[in-house]
Chains A and B, each alone.
Chain A
Amino acid sequence: MVLSAADKSNVKAVFGKIGGQVEEYGAETLERMFITYPQTKTYFPHFDLGKGSAQVKGHGKKVAAALVEAANHIDDIAGALSKLSDLHAQKLRVDPVNFKLLGQCFLVVVAAHNPAVLTPEVHASLDKFLCAVGTVLTAKYR
């Protein structure tokens, strides 16, 4: 799966539109993921996952920052997320299926806050981008 020039442009435009709210989006993405897919909570036994949790907010910020970094280096996502990829392979070892779940929740958050931005074409590009990020983060698993 390859990101076309149009995909890259669409993704950059989405993150441009989201701007500084991306941190909130990250937190809401996690909140939705934990509620919709309770099995994802198993990776956070050390977190307070209650509503408004500071830990979830903080982690949401990190996740959002990684997505922004990938979008800003969209021609070389593997390079941009290389350290994160190592971390996920060696330490975190989150099962690959969960990246799809996170991606779905991020799409829902974008849709709920910015329906006008998420045209079908942009939806496609963003979905592809999120897949690409998941692929990079699990690339060194074995």
Chain B
Amino acid sequence: MVHWTAEEKQLITGLWGKVNVEECGAEALARLLIVYPWTQRFFDNFGNLSSPTAIIGNPKVRAHGKKVLTSFGEAIKNLDNLKGTYSKLSELHCDKLHVDPENFRLLGDILIVVLAAHFTKDFTPACQAVWQKLVGLVAHALARKYH
């Protein structure tokens, strides 16, 4: 059973309120594909991923990044029920998409770096700790239905 203090929830929702989901999502996914190039294996149909510039400018990467981060937003609305929120998506990532759950952890780490770059000193150590906890729990929830 996940436990969030009121302060932790505030650190999450307070920051999330200032996030441009489309931009942040696009950047996070692009950086995932650039920093950990083996993650490109899931996106053969995305077209040109041949260079960092191509990846950053790729409209499918942008669109998918937005989709992924929008889903994150759902988690933030349901912090007390991450398992339920991600149940169907977990099945999808296992049965249809065949994504190694390690990739969820990689994306989570990338998202943290993107948030740090965006919010700079406002991304305090306390903030980082809570967000690292959140991305870890999201990764766990997405892996939960794997079999």
Contact = CB atoms under 8 A, between A and B. Distances in A.
Pair from one complex: yes
Interface of A: 28, 31-32, 35-37, 104-105, 107-109, 111-113, 115, 118-121, 123-124, 127
B132 interface: yes
Interface residues of B, number: 23
A112 B123 contact: yes
Interface majority SS on A: helix, strand, loop or mixed?
helix
B109 A104 contact: yes
Given A107-B113, A115-B118, A120 B125 contact: no
Nearest to A118: B117
- Chain B: interface secondary structure? helix
Contact of A121 (B52, B121, B129): B52
A37 B30 CA distance: 26
B131 to A, nearest CB: 9
B128 A120 contact: no
A119 B114 CA distance: 10
B34 A36 contact: no
A120 B31 contact: yes
Nearest 6 pairs of A and B residues by beta carbon? A115-B117, A111-B116, A111-B117, A36-B129, A124-B35, A120-B34
